[in-house]
Each structure stands twice: as structure tokens, then as C-alpha cells.
């Protein structure tokens, strides 16, 4: 006959809690998908897990990796930038609401500059054909749910 002790039950509960907490933590991890690369080596990724309605506008986090260091508005050099884009699928427009520039590639290193206009105040402009902005817009619109597309202004 096999007996289950309190110690065995407690150990099983601890293991289950740890497994669940790891699952929840990994669900929040960005899902960076490469969507475009320019002729001068700028690589753009969209966090597919971040595509959603915020303040009645369709948004997504976008990461730029630059082949060479870029000057920030603060006068410091950065190699990558993470930006919250606002996307208008019907109007084929994009705009930027928030940004953070990093000294290292892939949003690593020191934050050298940040800025925010705000989601509702972010101006949208048309995305020209064969540009990084158009690639971002097409990816976000293709991966948004029908509900998100209908709720977006």
C-alpha cells in the first residue's frame, strides 16, 4: 500500500506553482518577428504579442536595430530603438507614440534617450510603398484580430 505524505503533497504543490509562474512569466515575453530590412542595414522587428487596442487605436511595439550608431535627440549615440507605433489599417497610416533608444543592439545596454507624444496625440502619416513604415503597417494589420480592426479608430 502506498501512502501519500504531507511532505509529498507540499512538494507537488510547490512544483506546480513554479511551473505556473514560469508559464505566466514567459507569456509576457516579447515575440519579436523580423518584418523588414533596409538597404543600409536597418532591421525592423514587431512584437507580435503586443499588437492590440490602446486608447481606441491599434498599436504595436516595434524594434529597430541599426547597422551603425545613430545620434539621438539628446546628442548620444544609439544602436537600437523600441517604439510604440500607432497603426491605421483602413487609412494605411502609421505614427509613433513612444520611443526608447538604447546604446546596444536589440534593445540592450543603456537607455540613452526616451520620448512620448502619447497614443491619442500621435499624428499619423501615410506609409509610402516599399518603406519600413509600410512593412510595419502591413504586418500589424495582417496580425490584428478582426475585433481589434473593428474597434480601432
pLDDT value at 18 more than 60: no
Per-residue cell: 39: 538597404
Q: What phi, psi does 18 have (nearest 5°)? A: -65, -40
Chain center to CA of 145:
16
DSSP annotation string for 80-111: EEEEEEEEETTTTEEEEEEEEEESSSTT-S-E
The dotted CATH code for 32-151 is: 2.40.128.710
**Cα–Cα distance between 46 and 143 in angstroms, integer?**
10
Residue 119: other Cβ atoms inside 10 A = 18
At residue 6 the predicted structure's pLDDT band, cuts being 50, 70 and 90, is very low
State how far Cα 132 lies from the chain centre. Answer: 15
| Helix, strand, or coil (residue 4) | coil
The model's pLDDT over 32-87, given as tens digits with 9 standing for 90+, comes to: 999 999 999 999 999 999 999 999 999 999 999 999 999 998 899 999 999 999 99
d(C-alpha 74, C-alpha 38), whole Å: 25
Question: How many angstroms separate the CA atoms of 126 and 129, rounded?
Answer: 9
Model pLDDT for residues 107-153, shown as the tens digit of each residue: 999 999 999 999 999 999 999 999 999 999 999 999 998 888 888 76
Angle subtended at Cα 98 by Cα 26 and Cα 32, rounded to the nearest 5 degrees? 35
Q: Determine contact, residues 136/44, Cβ cutoff 8 Å.
A: yes
Residue ranges of domains in the chain: 32-151
Among 43, 100, 36, 34, residue whose Cα is nearest residue 68: 43
Amino acid at each position: 500500500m502506498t501512502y501519500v505524505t504531507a511532505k509529498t503533497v507540499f512538494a507537488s504543490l510547490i512544483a506546480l506553482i513554479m511551473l505556473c509562474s514560469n508559464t505566466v512569466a514567459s507569456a509576457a515575453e516579447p515575440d519579436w518577428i523580423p518584418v523588414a530590412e533596409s538597404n543600409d542595414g536597418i532591421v525592423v522587428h514587431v512584437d507580435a504579442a503586443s499588437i492590440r487596442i490602446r486608447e481606441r487605436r491599434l498599436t504595436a511595439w516595434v524594434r529597430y536595430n541599426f547597422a551603425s550608431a545613430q545620434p539621438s535627440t539628446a546628442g548620444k549615440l544609439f544602436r537600437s530603438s523600441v517604439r510604440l507605433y500607432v497603426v491605421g489599417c483602413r487609412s494605411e497610416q502609421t505614427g509613433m507614440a513612444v520611443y526608447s533608444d538604447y546604446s546596444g543592439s536589440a534593445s540592450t545596454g543603456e537607455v540613452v534617450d526616451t520620448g512620448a507624444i502619447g497614443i491619442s496625440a500621435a499624428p499619423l502619416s501615410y506609409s509610402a510603398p516599399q518603406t519600413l513604415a509600410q512593412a510595419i503597417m502591413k504586418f500589424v494589420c495582417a496580425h490584428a484580430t478582426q475585433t481589434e480592426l473593428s474597434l480601432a479608430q
